[in-house]
Amino acid sequence: MAAFMLSLVFLLAIIGHSSASYCICKDGVDVKILQENIDYACGSGADCTAIHTNGACFNPDSVKDHCSYAVNSYYQRKGASGASCDFKGTATLTSTAPACKVSSFIH
C-alpha cells in the first residue's frame, strides 16, 4: 500500500509540473548579431513565416522580438535540446512563453 501511495504522489508531481521551455534572444546583444541569429535559424529549419511583413508575429516589429521568435522556432523544431538554444551565448532558455504565441512555439 505504501508503494502504491508513493507511486501515486510521484505521478501527480510529474503531471503537475510543466516542462515547457522556450528559447529567446538575450537583452543587450548587438542588433547585427541578433540579425545573424535570425538568418541562421530561418535558414536552418525554423519556420519564420510568422515574422515576415504582415505575418502573425511581425509586430512588435523589432529585431530582438523577431530573433526570439526565430531562435525559439529553431529550438522547438530541433527537439528542444539545450544545445539548440545557444547561438554563441546570445540566446537563453526560459519557462516564460514569448510575447507572440503561435502554435509552433508549443512542443
CA 14 to chain centre: 22
CA 10 – CA 24 distance, rounded (Å): 31
pLDDT one digit per residue (tens) for the chain, 107 residues: 554 444 433 434 433 445 789 999 999 999 999 999 999 999 999 999 999 999 999 999 999 999 999 999 999 999 888 789 999 999 999 998 877 865 544 44
Output the CA angle 28-65-41, nearest 5 degrees: 95
Query: In the chain, what are the domain boundaries?
Result: 22-105
pTM above 0.85, yes or no: no
In the structure grid, which three cell numbers stand for residue 19, read together?
A: 516542462
